[in-house]
Each structure stands twice: as structure tokens, then as C-alpha cells.
Structure 1
Amino acid sequence: MASGGSSDAEAELRRGFKALAVTRPDPAAAVYEVRLSRPAQRNALSPDSFAEIPRAMALLDRVPAARAVVLSAAGPHFCAGIELGGPGNPLTAPFGRGADPAAAAEGLRRAILGMQAALTAVELCRKPVIAAVHGACVGGGVDLVAACDIRYCSKDATFVLKEVDMAIVADLGALQRLPRIVGYGNAADLALTGRRITAAEAKEMGLVSRVFDSKQELDAGVAKIAKEISEKSANAVMGTKAVLLRSRDITVEQGLEHVATWNSGMLRSNDLVEAIKAFMEKRKPVFSKL
């Protein structure tokens, strides 16, 4: 019989989400799917997304019927990164312009740390989280899948860290996690050039474990893998994940703290405003000279 806590978590999951869809596609499998569900916005990460991802992961952590979690996306693309210009976006909020600069910087720093924590919730979920990526995976989308335990993609998938082209430093975890996944050189290549890589190159550098020929095959293949994992000992699976994470270099938190402090000042630059305007106007940005 489920405990009161797990029953409450299951009931909370059924109440639904705005930016996500959380379902159990196969009642016979102990696998839940967390699907980014803003296809009209190419699943760009909104304030709702940052609020709901940790909520979903915390609830699934408590549900015994969730032995594995698949992170997927609706529509033609996985994730277009952080939503630019939307209401409530902490990157474009004024943070007391005209007020004390230190107070404004601290407000922005807290916002960055909050977004970091939202994606770190994927890593902190004791259940294995498997990313199924198709189409474009941009910026914050790469941060998100880097926090997953295993990554698969379809042949049409592409990956790009665009922050350097937006005059900012990627600050939601990619710079801390990618070097441990693909190696320092590959991570530096992606982060400093902002170039787009194909599914084949992502597989070659170890960003994904396998490439499927189509989204349909990706969905079926990942569901099969997740089901196989879910059928193993829950204690062994959760213990393996916990030990893998603990055995990793333990300076991830220090790196996140550093980039949050760095960007609390740097994100207030005119270059960010120009980059966003150029993005919206579909033109090449003209940045200030140092």
C-alpha cells in the first residue's frame, strides 16, 4: 500500500502543469514521462518551466510507481533555450535599475541561482532521468539535458550553446557538467564557438549514448530502455545514481556559485540588451567595444 506521502504526490501530479505534461504512458511500466509542452514556443524555458521542473522531479522522487523518468518534448524541437522577452523573465527584469547597484546585482544573482536549482532538480531526483532529444536543443536545453543521467537523440537533433553569441556566460550548469560528459576540450569547443553540432557529432563526443533514425524510433527505443531500467532493483538503480554523482568531481556547486556571482554583474551590460533586440529583430547584433 502506498504511503500517505506518495499518495499525496500522485494526487499532486494529476493536478497538472502549465509548461509540462507529466504522464505514465504505459500503465504496465513503472516509467513516467515529463514532456516539455510549449511547442508553439519551441519549448523555450519560461518562468513556469523553471517552477514546474523541480516540482515534477520532487513529486516523481516520492512516487513508488516512478522507477525511471523520461524527459522529452512536444512539437518539432526539444528546447529553444531560455525564453527571451517574456513576462517574468529574470534575465530581462529591471532589478531596480536606478537603485543601489549591489542590490540589483544580488537580485539577479538570486534569480540565476533559482534557475540553476530548477535544472539541478533533475540531477537530484533519485530516479534515473533519461533525455530523449529531437530537433533543436539550444542553450538552456543543453543545460537541462546535461543534468540528466542518460541522453539519447534522433538523427535530426542538433545541439548548440548560444550564450557566447548573446554576450553572456552559460550559467545554468552546462559549463560545469559538460566537461565531465564530453571532456574539457569538446566542452570548450561548444561553449566558446557557439557552433551547432549534429546528432552524429554529439554521439562521437559522448554527449548522447545512441542516435535513433527518427523521433518515432527514439520514443519507442527510450521507452524500452526506461522500462528495462525500471524493472531492475529500485534500490540498486537509485544507489547507482547516487554513487555515480557522489564519485564525480565535487566542485560543480563551486562552479555554479562562481558563474552566478560573475553574471550577477555581467548580465546588466548593454550587450545583453542589444543581443536580445537583435534576436527579436532577426539581425546581427552590434556589441559595444571594450
Structure 2
Amino acid sequence: MTESVLFRVESHVGRLTLNRPERLNAMDLPMVQSVLERLSEASELVEVGDLRALVISGEGDRAFSAGADMESRRALTDAERALHLDLIASMCREVYRFPVPVVAEVHGHCIGGGAELALSCDLVLATETSGFSLPEVKLGMLARSGGAVFARRRLSHGALAGMLLTGERVRAPEALRIGLIDRMSANPELLAEATDAVASSIASAGPHAVRATKQLLLSNSTLSVEESLQLGDSLHATLAATEDLREGLAALAEKRPPAFVGR
């Protein structure tokens, strides 16, 4: 039986792939449970220093993810349907809080829970033919897995309201213009190259510095400016005592690439 979620690590970069291309990577209950298991595994790898960046993508050439698999939900009990949506929300929040940067590699359809998953990532890269939509209102539902919250980091109130209240698709060129995505590539091959370059760049930086920077970035939405500045001072003081900082400064002086060890 084909696994619905693939996970591998190479050169400190993890790659989690949604693997139901025949269903546009729509997320049924077992798939969401598998994603959560892989995220837990990935977090453990972060703690031992084996993983420094994570990429999330969708298998096939048609979709990142079409969101919750509504067809499979018909066979579920009411309790299982509720669990399904609760776990999608948990999955998006786990990605948002993941200890190292997460990059979404998007091509094709990115809909509903799939869009919420992408928007929970720190960076979103997409092909120019990709499209993003949060159509929950058209089903009498709410984008409660984080779409209404995570996109707030990226969009003006009007742009976000337009997506949420109309459910209409935003194509990649417009998504790039309004800040919904961070980079756009002409095709999947160039997108993969761009994603690998970004993830490798993150993974080659000082691991403690990267994690501290993500923590500081996340604080922007929960702390006041003054509190975030104080957090930055505290994180800087911690980094000042690391071997990696000394290595970074030595490498700069010696005009060579740094060899960070995560200490």
C-alpha cells in the first residue's frame, strides 16, 4: 500500500510530501494523522541536530493539496468528522510552531485546508500557474485551521477579507503582488530548484541563530514591540555564548565558509 505521506532528510533538510496525487493530495483522516506523526518525528530530529529546515510539498503536477478530502468524510461518523477537522487544525498549528523554518513548495491547486497548511509555513514558494483559495464560506464553514490567522501575517485586511468572504481563487501572480506568497517560479522544475536553494541556505546557517530568529519572528504576533525587543536581547545573549557564534566570526575573519556544529 502506498504511503500517503513521505518523509526524508538529506543534508539537514527534511522534506515532507503529501502523497495522494490521484486525489489532488486531498487530506483524509489517516493522511492527517500521518502528517502529525511525521512532524513529531521531524521535531525529534531537530532536537538532536539532524534537521535544520523543513520543506512541505505535494506529489504530482496538479496540486499542493485540495484541502480536506470531503468524499472520504461521508463514510465517517460524526465524531470522526469532528476529529478530522480538529486534526487538520492541529497539523497547521504544529507547522506554524515548528522549531525550525518551514518552506511550502506549491504548484497547482492549493485549496482550503491545503492553503491553510501552506500559509502556516514561514515561506511560501509557488509556480506561476498555482492558485490559492479559502472557499470555506461557500460550504457554510469557517477557515478555522489557521487560514484567517496565518494569512494575517501577509495580507492587508481588505485582501484577506476578500479571500475569506468570497472564497475566490487568487492566482500566483496576484498572490505574489499582494504578499500571499514570497517567490514565484515559471514551472515545477525551477520551483524545486528555488526551494532547494532556500532550504539549503537556511540549513547552512547557524542552527541556534536560525531557531532564535524564528522564535523572534513568531513573537511579532503575540508580543508588543517592546517585549519583542527584550526577547531579542535575551536571545542574543544566549547566542553570544555558543561555539557557533565564535565559529561564524572566525570564518568571517578567515574568509572561509563556517562549519556550524549546533553548539
What TM-score results when the alignment is normalised by the length of structure 2? 0.77
Partner of 1:67: 52
User: What is the alpha-carbon distance in structure 2 between the residues aligned to residue 130 and residue 226 of structure 1?
Assistant: 7
Percent identity over paired residues: 26
Q: Could you say what secondary structure the match of 2:16 adopts?
A: strand
Partner of 2:153: 180
* Cα displacement (A) at 1:111: 5.5
User: What is the alpha-carbon distance in structure 2 between the residues aligned to residue 135 and residue 44 of structure 1?
Assistant: 13
Partner of 2:3: 18
Q: Check conservation: 1:47, 1:88, Cα contact below 8 A.
A: no
Deviations 1:32-55 (A, max 9, x none): 111110000100011122212222
Deviations 1:210-250 (A, max 9, x none): 10011000001110110011000110111111121122146
Among 3, 8, 14, the alignment partner of 1:32 is 14
Q: Check conservation: 2:88, 2:113, Cα contact below 8 A.
A: no
Q: Does 1:78 align with 2:64?
A: yes
49-58 vs 166-175, which deviates more?
A: 49-58
Q: Does 1:43 align with 2:25?
A: yes
User: What is the alpha-carbon distance in structure 1 between the residues aligned to residue 39 and residue 100 of structure 2?
Assistant: 9
* Cα displacement (A) at 1:58: 1.9
Q: Could you say what secondary structure the match of 1:35 adopts?
A: strand
Aligned counterparts, 1:1-290, within 5 A: 18-24=3-9, 27=10, 29-63=11-45, 64-76=49-61, 77-86=63-72, 93-95=77-79, 112-249=85-222
Note closer, same or farther for the CA distance 1:175–1:17 as it changes in structure 2 (3 Å cut).
farther
Can you give the 5+ residue segments of structure 1 that lack an aligned partner in the other structure? 1-15, 96-106, 251-290
Can you give the 5+ residue segments of structure 2 that lack an aligned partner in the other structure? 224-263
What TM-score results when the alignment is normalised by the length of structure 1? 0.71
The amino acid across from 1:241 in the alignment is K
CA RMSD of aligned residues (A): 2.1
Partner of 2:254: none
User: What is the alpha-carbon distance in structure 2 between the residues aligned to residue 56 and residue 67 of structure 1?
Assistant: 15
* Cα displacement (A) at 1:161: 1.0
Which consecutive aligned stretches of 4+ in structure 1 deviate over 2 angstroms post-superposition? 92-95, 107-115
User: What is the alpha-carbon distance in structure 1 between the residues aligned to residue 14 and residue 217 of structure 2?
Assistant: 22
